Structure 1
Amino acid sequence: MIRGKEQQPFRNSEGGEIERTRPLSFSFDGKTYTGYEGDTLASALLANGVNLVGRSFKYHRPRGIYSAGPEEPNALVNLRSGGRQEPNTRATQIELFAGLEAKSQNRWPSLALDVMGVNDLAARFLVAGFYYKTFMGLPGWHFYEHFIRKAAGMGEAKHVSDPDIYDKMHGHADIVVVGAGPAGLAAALTAGQSGARVFLIDENDKPGGRLRSERETIDGKPAMDWAAQTLAELEEMENVTLLRRATAFGYYDGDTIAALERISDHLPVPAPFQVRQRRWLIHARKVLLATGSTERPLVFDGNDRPGVMLAGAARTYANRFAVRPGKHAVVFANNDDGYRTALDLAEAGIEVRGVIDPRTGGQGPLKEDVIAQGIDVVSGAVVVRTHGYLGLAGVDIADLGTLQSGTTPETRYIPCDLLATGGGWSPNVHLYSHQSGKPVYDPAIAAFVPGTSRMNDHSIGAARGRFSLGDCLADGYAAGQETAEALGFTTGAVADIPSTDEPATGPLKILWQVPALPGRKGRRFVDLQDDVTADDVKLAQSEGYVSVEHLKRYTTLGMGTDQGKTSNINGHGVLAEARGLDVSEVGTTTFRPPYTPVAIGAFAGREIGRHQNPVRRTPMHDWHLAHGAQMVEAGLWMRPQYYLGKEEPKSREAMFKAIELETLAVRNAAGISDVSTLGKIDIQGPDAAELLNRVYINGWKTLAVGKARYGVMLREDGVALDDGTTSRIGENHYYMTTTTAEAGPVMEHLELHLQVHWPDLDVKVASVSDEWAAMAIAGPNSRAILQDLFPQLDLSNDGFPFMGVRESKLGAMPARIFRISFSGELAYEIAVPAGYGEAAWERCLAVGESHGLVPYGLEALNILRIEKGHVTVAEIDGRVSAADLGFGQMMSSKKRFIGDALATRECMNDPGRPTLVGLTPVDGKTRIRAGSILVEDPKTPPPVPKLGHVSSTAPISPNVGHPISLGLLKDGPNRIGDTVWAVFPLKGEAVQVKVTRPNVYDVEGARLHG
């Protein structure tokens, strides 16, 4: 057996946080390697000498591991396989587990030999904005689009169902502390000791933050000893909740922190019934942002080669993982952190061949320590070029002053396989910015720091530019105490701030980019993931894209999965130089949630599949199935589409025959339809009529008891929300029906206004959609059937007029009867308590059999209502006004109602707006597809002016003898009799249609009134 350490040639035998007694086997691009528990995928790859991990987005240049955290722009892999495959996963944050499968992406056929690398040879033609300029001419964008989309993107998602479970949780806290570095731990400890409810959120498997990557001491002991002791104290506090492996990805109104807890991502497969990830919404009184900082890179020729790494990341791999990310290193930094990196790399056994420092003075004592170890320090110099292709071979350095003067400097070549670069640290202001905070520029650290907060948050430690360990500890203890006391908790005496032995450091040198060598056309990358160079930034500026927001969109700077964590500030610095401004004048782009990518499953939680869209069945569902109903899901309900006899085959011909017979039965005798799915809302109270008057466009205060009225609701913006009927059952008792699809939205609409806008109204509403079963009996024989069912009622036109309502008994069953019609026929709706639904249905069919009563489904119902021009959600689609549907005259001018002000806008009453019309094929037989676009002439070259669209259609109406449709057509009432074309692009179909009135059957309504 080969021992783990022999398989890991770049792993030190001692040190780090890894558990050497627990080796783990994993694979990358099909090759098997070994790491240890405690590794990340990135550290394990580096330990095995693997640095080439990916290809860049545009040029497909070789890319190596660049960082050690969420800012990673290069090491994006496809993790796992099958339904659990996850593209664009940062190797720097993947905890190693046994059997881990990872693959590189954005390359073909292999990582080392990528055919698309030819783009790199054409780089001078593929500058920022090239496709805006190139692909708009002949032969046109639509020709190029297919090829561009195939080349675009990074990883590839699979069209396979995700087998894992996701969950959602709410939390409530007095204080939320985001980040468990030294500042966050200190703040959480002090706040927790006060008795306040505290949430401590950290994205890593263990607290400690940067302490895990450094050789710092606190009170003379390793800093992680203090972190472990603090953690132990926090775990003993019942009022403190620790969320490990949880990233706070958003800060929202009401001081709400959204966090993603990765519960099982470090396991090969979640245990049975165990969730993979949990999304938290934590509602806080105060928020302390201890989110730390991110190291900035330096911009120079060839700074993207595998082997170039952030200096802080190099220290992380050496100290935390006992990994040597190279054998021979050069450090290039504009601040004293470079000397700390050199010392730590040398301690890890790496030969440091030089520290390149562009400063000429002002460094702290760390420089002397480096010189004392015999490491060459070159002051006033910069790296001007790197060498190598799939890996770093060496660097050229030159004098910065000579380079800035425009003179060609002498260069010196240093062979190396690791270049650790550091351009200073930028506070992570993302969460602060999510709540509209505006960062301000601090020239002392050449970075943006939090400014005035809009909500109850306070940034502490490195998150506000206090980078020393001592400052972070002091900031944390003070913030925890002050915040707890501000909330009314008692903290007692301030604890002594632990001591640290940090050496003094000198100021950094602002260096947004290293000037290019005169005469050399090398590329200096600002955004490594999206291949944005310093020259791209300058090009954007020269072409007028001088706003940082325009720069971002023109060059794609910061638009990758890393969201510009390592590139933004340098890009803005280069833009500032090009414009001759200070960076503070250029500003920053807007940081938006999420801080790091969040799986869609975490937003959905368990509300997927039937947990999101549960199957709803009417009380008569079993009867429908037993009698040949072909069911269809409509508005979350299972409804009969049509009925087949037991012996009839399920064929297209049988379907059309059944639909035709059902439609004719309603017109010639009688039909019964299950309408239990309609929304039903019970409204009671002295102000019930006032409520209806405010939500409907027409008047309701004169509606008599025992009568129903048709009404239309608008949204606040004047757009139609729903139509339906409301019946007055008693003096202060009303019964509202809505369309099936809008039952929930209408109920929400009423509750919102009653609870928020009109709490003074004395009225209560309750959804009773599931409490009542309902059936509609329609057709010329319907009155005779109702008379047999309810012999005690006077069903004459005078005794039970149109839109009348009665309460009676169907045998022993309580029932409500409504003379309402959706089919245009003489019709009644019967509602009984849901438990009586099937019995009432069977009784109706038994009594109606001698009158020719047959059940009919949705298809027949659709044909009947299109014949009469009645609208459904197909027409009330969130874009139309009441006037568009022909209800303009219903809008009362004597009262106020929701949406009245905006419904009277000129644009909402423009006669040229698409309005409801009927449509029939000119040839009398061709089907008009729903969704077709209405145009004057389909042969008009693009762009073709759109006149409207087809909203609903009936392939054939046996009552009028040809296909019919409803649609919305510009200036519809004035185009009756005209012909237009209905074009269905997906099928390449074009049908010439005649414009008619919406109602094409029984226009006078004689049948409706019996």
Structure 2
Amino acid sequence: MSGFRLADGGRVDRRIKRNFTFDGKAQWGYAGDSLASALLAQGQMLFGRSFKYHRPRGILGAGVEEPNALVTVDRGPGRVTPNLRAPSVALHDGLNATSQNRFPTLKTDLIAVNNMLSAFFPAGFYNKTFMWPRAAWEKVYEPIIRRLAGLGDSPTTRDPDHYDATYAHCETLIVGAGPAGIAAALEAAANGGRVILIDEQEEIGGGALSDPAQWAWLEKATAKLAAMDNVTVLSRTTAIGHYHQNFVVAAERLTDHLSVDEAEGPREKLWRIRSGEVILAMGAIERPLVFEGNDVPGVMLASAARTFALRYGVAVGRKVVVMAIHDSGWHDALALHKAGVNIAAIVDLRREIAPELAEAARHAGIACYPGYAVTSVSGSLAVKGVTIALAGVGKGEKLECDALLMAGGWTPTVHLWSHAKGTLRWDESWGAYVPDKTHENLRCVGACAGAWDFGSGLSGGLLPAPKPLHESKAFVDFQNDVKARDIGLAVQEGFRSIEHIKRYTTNGMATDQGKTSNLNGLQIASGVLHRPVTEIGLTTFRPPYTPQSFGAMLGHHKEALFQPLRKSVIDDWAADHGAVYENVAQWRRARYFPQGSEDMDAAVARECRTVRSSVGIFDASTLGKIEVVGPDAAEFLNRMYTNPWKSLEPGRCRYGLLLGEHGFIIDDGVSARLAPDRFHLTTTTGGAARVLNMMEDYLQTEWSDLDVWLTSTTEQWAVIAVQGPKARDVIAPLVEGIDLSGQAFPHMAVREGQICGVETRLFRVSFTGELGFEVNVPAEHGRMVWEAIWAEGQKHGAAAYGTETMHVLRAEKGFIIVGQDTDGTVTPDDAGLGWAVGKKKPDFVGKRSLSRPDIVAPGRKQLVGLLTDDPQAVLEEGAQIVADPNQPVPMTMIGHVTSSYHSATLGRSIAMALVAGGRDRMGETLHIPMPGKTISAKVVTPMFYDAEGSCLNG
């Protein structure tokens, strides 16, 4: 044996070396190695640090159950992937891996001081600690906690890889390609149906890969499957979720096992598979044992040690002790001995051992300790020895070793079965939950079904110990640092359901989803509560089965294909003129147009002053637009909106409020009647699709007798808002066929004619409180018309303005923005829009809800204005409001700020807020507690500018 590499054996190709780095140090392995096996072969026992206490952690398992050895793999700029399990990372030339959750180094981690302070950080400590002094939370506690949170670091640069996605249909889908899965695939394929066989490992075979006696059969079976045209075999593919009607989602890793230079094509592919039958052959996961020191690097599962030795040709130690409560531990020990691993002793809590196993061990020269248990492990960064005692409480005896293997029994992998709502039953012979009933055409085979002979054993993972439970440092969840005594503490705190115990202790809530900890935690809780396991409950398994990259889940739907960015036809002009953008729903909109060295505040102030004193031009093309046409169009809108529409004359506009059935505002907009049977509706930018869908739903399901057609015309029209005292002067030279005089074309009217020689629908409406027109022209002419208006506007000192200025101007006038000044629980009356509700209308959507007791009850939050005592103090939107700033914490909140700006027009700050009983509080001073200070503000009407409307109607 060279180092920890066995002289022969394994499935690695010893002719091909792979060079890689771990924590910056050059290492090497063989083709076919995993990152874990290659490092173990070099004698690396320390792989990571635990989450809470930063205790040293080594390899526990050999597959996706691994909770400790999480690494970050860096494949170049944008290709940094954190939280990968070292046993599941295929070795390739140039692999660059680093350990996680340590500072500054893995061996010398200064944050490991947490382990010395562990008495202060028991389960649920975050619910009881950091409460005093209050001021320290923001300045001390929170920053520290946030810096310590998490494991690996998320990548910060753009992902340069691309991803694939596909759909597949088959008669039979088998998840898991071990012996049982392969046998099921061969049987299903022989019947002629389409078969898909998937497995998460680099090659199919499952447990057979660690059993040389099955390699010849495996080679033949693999070749037979490859020769079948109706069989698709997907290795490196993880079934991450099972959904209704046998819909399975799987993620295939296409190039992660290759160097960047070798990789061609997509990095990963997402498979969406619909199958007539699903067969789960996912095997079982060996359980660790719970005893003092079970987390020291070098303590691992016996099955993992067998995998490393027989599949990868790596010994996990030079002198190994096995702690078993199950026959499988003896089988693994004997197999390891045969492979050349020095097994010094087998310790088994059971006094009665199968005679053939005991005899084989003695014949191999292995010391046997029936009836004994490991009570402690010596060593911190690596195992140096163990202490054993008869029945775990007798006089201790020390054994020298550098690795300790645990064999605590097996848990069927039932995650996907549970995803499909399959029920589970407790099986005493397994000491675990096994599949029971399902409503899907779904079945389990092999170990996954609880139908595999691993031998017999005890079912409890907690070993007897000389220390009482509350003093023990025996770990259940290795990644989250959950100890057996934490579960006892949770019970002491009053928790009884395993779901509550899980959340209080975080047992099973790490990245491995409790694959090795759930059942031990359940059995410990059962013992503490003195109740059967079946009465404690069972945690819920949720997709994904293992963590997946966002790229894999998105597939083709990445960046613009995931969230298409919509741009108006005027967008390029805005970019050419220095616009700073913001995203509004799916649209990119100009937020402001800075000049020179202006910041946003200066630019917005200038734009506001220009609109109020002269004229501003605004791209309003993103507003939703719906054409409503038909003999019953007016009747339809009369039922949809709160106010009356039948009486609206052609050529006139009306502000409309749209409610949900609950009576709360969901959208608003100004709409026009173009003809007796035709309306031009506008919606909010983000509400266009939602409103159209809602209207179509009512039209097709509730009022199918109405003769009405709905057409989305959002992108058909470019909309240019010209706002300000000189708006009429700017568009007059360009408009043909429309009398723009105030008498002929009053506020809230619409006219059709031409502008710059093209068709236009010209609205006299305003969202600024100034004289305003909205020019609607076919989108293909939008840029040309905008430039013509802009050129004419320059004669009058016009400025282009963006959404930020629009927000300020409308707030000065007291106009609401749905979704900002409403929160999904605001009625028309709450928003001060009771005048927009038709009191005489027989019905409209949401009408009945407006009479519910809680809707008409006094004290509801109402929209009001706020003027701060300090005119230069700008409140934070979302800030909470109290009546008495001196009341004890927690204070009684009576409202919150919805909109807040500095008004260049008024020379001071203004705000709008939803306040309980707000309209009855006019003139009252309220208070807004902020970090470090409290701001006082007077309640006023929310209309701060031109309350008489003289500017609007000019």
TM-score, scaled relative to structure 1: 0.85
8 Å contact 1:40–1:91 — kept in the other structure? yes
Distance (Å, rounded) in 2 between the aligned partners of 1:448 and 1:280:
29
After TM superposition, give the deviation of residue 799 of structure 1 in Å.
5.3
8 Å contact 2:499–2:537 — kept in the other structure? no
1:680 aligned residue (625, 631, 634): 625
Tell whether 2:217 aligns with 1:268. Answer: no
Tell whether 2:104 aligns with 1:106. Answer: no
Q: 1:216 to 1:864 in 2, by over 3 A?
A: same
After TM superposition, give the deviation of residue 884 of structure 1 in Å.
2.3
2:863 alignment partner, SS class? strand
Cα deviation digits, residues 924-952 of structure 1 (max 9, x gap)? 45545544443446565643443333333
After TM superposition, give the deviation of residue 345 of structure 1 in Å.
0.3
The 10-residue stretch of structure 1 (567-576 or 858-867) with the greater mean CA deviation from structure 2: 858-867
Matches within 5 A, 1:773-812: 773-779=718-724, 782=727, 789-793=734-738, 800=745, 802-810=747-755, 812=757
8 Å contact 1:51–1:65 — kept in the other structure? yes
Structure 1, unmatched stretches of 5+, are 1-5, 469-504
Distance (Å, rounded) in 1 between the aligned partners of 2:597 and 2:146:
45
Matched residue type, 2:270: R
Distance (Å, rounded) in 2 between the aligned partners of 1:380 and 1:255:
47
After TM superposition, give the deviation of residue 293 of structure 1 in Å.
1.2
1:222 alignment partner, SS class? helix
8 Å contact 2:280–2:443 — kept in the other structure? yes
Q: 1:1009 to 1:279 in 2, by over 3 A?
A: same
1:315 aligned residue (273, 288, 306): 306
Q: 1:513 to 1:784 in 2, by over 3 A?
A: closer
2:437 aligned residue (452, 458, 465): 452
2:330 alignment partner, SS class? helix
Distance (Å, rounded) in 1 between the aligned partners of 2:548 and 2:821:
36
Match of 2:463 in 1: 514
8 Å contact 1:270–1:276 — kept in the other structure? no
After TM superposition, give the deviation of residue 548 of structure 1 in Å.
0.8
Match of 1:659 in 2: 607
Distance (Å, rounded) in 2 between the aligned partners of 1:761 and 1:171:
42
After TM superposition, give the deviation of residue 23 of structure 1 in Å.
0.6
After TM superposition, give the deviation of residue 167 of structure 1 in Å.
4.3
After TM superposition, give the deviation of residue 250 of structure 1 in Å.
2.0
After TM superposition, give the deviation of residue 676 of structure 1 in Å.
1.6
After TM superposition, give the deviation of residue 74 of structure 1 in Å.
1.6
How many residues get paired? Answer: 947
Matched residue type, 2:895: G
Match of 2:867 in 1: 920
1:52 alignment partner, SS class? coil
After TM superposition, give the deviation of residue 727 of structure 1 in Å.
2.8
After TM superposition, give the deviation of residue 24 of structure 1 in Å.
0.5
Match of 1:583 in 2: 533
Distance (Å, rounded) in 2 between the aligned partners of 1:9 and 1:775:
76
Q: 1:195 to 1:536 in 2, by over 3 A?
A: same
The 10-residue stretch of structure 1 (94-103 or 698-707) with the greater mean CA deviation from structure 2: 698-707
Match of 1:94 in 2: 89
Matched residue type, 2:85: R
After TM superposition, give the deviation of residue 779 of structure 1 in Å.
4.5
The 10-residue stretch of structure 1 (39-48 or 631-640) with the greater mean CA deviation from structure 2: 631-640
8 Å contact 1:363–1:506 — kept in the other structure? no
Matches within 5 A, 1:133-282: 133-138=128-133, 142=137, 143-217=140-214, 222-234=216-228, 236-237=229-230, 240-269=231-260, 274-282=265-273
Distance (Å, rounded) in 2 between the aligned partners of 1:211 and 1:756:
58
The 10-residue stretch of structure 1 (77-86 or 459-468) with the greater mean CA deviation from structure 2: 77-86
Distance (Å, rounded) in 2 between the aligned partners of 1:441 and 1:906:
50
1:23 aligned residue (17, 20, 24): 17
8 Å contact 2:610–2:798 — kept in the other structure? no
Matched residue type, 1:231: L
Match of 1:838 in 2: 783
8 Å contact 1:886–1:915 — kept in the other structure? yes
Tell whether 2:32 aligns with 1:38. Answer: yes
Distance (Å, rounded) in 1 between the aligned partners of 2:132 and 2:664:
40
Distance (Å, rounded) in 2 between the aligned partners of 1:657 and 1:537:
59
Matches within 5 A, 1:43-442: 43-80=37-74, 83-138=78-133, 142=137, 143-217=140-214, 222-234=216-228, 236-237=229-230, 240-269=231-260, 274-361=265-352, 363=354, 365-400=356-391, 408-442=393-427
Match of 1:500 in 2: none
8 Å contact 2:420–2:440 — kept in the other structure? yes
Structure 2, unmatched stretches of 5+, are none
Matched residue type, 2:642: I
The 10-residue stretch of structure 1 (822-831 or 614-623) with the greater mean CA deviation from structure 2: 614-623
8 Å contact 1:787–1:793 — kept in the other structure? no
Match of 1:538 in 2: 488
Distance (Å, rounded) in 1 between the aligned partners of 2:892 and 2:903:
29
Distance (Å, rounded) in 2 between the aligned partners of 1:451 and 1:836:
66
Q: 1:227 to 1:305 in 2, by over 3 A?
A: farther
Distance (Å, rounded) in 1 between the aligned partners of 2:635 and 2:246:
37
After TM superposition, give the deviation of residue 574 of structure 1 in Å.
1.3
After TM superposition, give the deviation of residue 18 of structure 1 in Å.
1.0
Match of 1:726 in 2: 671
Matched residue type, 1:429: V
Cα deviation digits, residues 741-780 of structure 1 (max 9, x gap)? 3334434544566677777776543332222111233445
Cα deviation digits, residues 825-862 of structure 1 (max 9, x gap)? 44332211111223333454567778887655445533
Match of 2:942 in 1: 998
After TM superposition, give the deviation of residue 870 of structure 1 in Å.
0.9
8 Å contact 2:477–2:516 — kept in the other structure? yes
Distance (Å, rounded) in 2 between the aligned partners of 1:83 and 1:656:
36
2:495 alignment partner, SS class? coil
The 10-residue stretch of structure 1 (597-606 or 840-849) with the greater mean CA deviation from structure 2: 840-849
Matched residue type, 2:131: M
Matches within 5 A, 1:630-645: 630-635=579-584, 636-640=586-590
Distance (Å, rounded) in 2 between the aligned partners of 1:679 and 1:38:
57
8 Å contact 2:738–2:752 — kept in the other structure? no
TM-score, scaled relative to structure 2: 0.90
2:57 alignment partner, SS class? strand
8 Å contact 1:662–1:856 — kept in the other structure? no
1:180 alignment partner, SS class? coil
Q: 1:833 to 1:541 in 2, by over 3 A?
A: same
Q: 1:569 to 1:887 in 2, by over 3 A?
A: same
Distance (Å, rounded) in 1 between the aligned partners of 2:442 and 2:705:
36
After TM superposition, give the deviation of residue 325 of structure 1 in Å.
1.3
Tell whether 2:812 aligns with 1:867. Answer: yes
Q: 1:616 to 1:367 in 2, by over 3 A?
A: same
After TM superposition, give the deviation of residue 10 of structure 1 in Å.
1.6
Cα deviation digits, residues 77-132 of structure 1 (max 9, x gap)? 23227643333221111111112222223333433333344444444554333454
After TM superposition, give the deviation of residue 708 of structure 1 in Å.
3.1
Q: 1:1009 to 1:283 in 2, by over 3 A?
A: farther
Q: 1:759 to 1:441 in 2, by over 3 A?
A: farther
Matched residue type, 1:451: D
Q: 1:910 to 1:536 in 2, by over 3 A?
A: same
Q: Taking every aligned residue pair, what percent have the same amino acid on both sides?
A: 42
The 10-residue stretch of structure 1 (147-156 or 418-427) with the greater mean CA deviation from structure 2: 147-156
After TM superposition, give the deviation of residue 917 of structure 1 in Å.
1.8
8 Å contact 1:665–1:671 — kept in the other structure? no
Q: 1:277 to 1:928 in 2, by over 3 A?
A: same
Matched residue type, 2:501: L
Matched residue type, 1:509: L
Match of 1:499 in 2: none
Tell whether 2:489 aligns with 1:529. Answer: no
8 Å contact 1:429–1:463 — kept in the other structure? yes
Q: 1:210 to 1:919 in 2, by over 3 A?
A: same
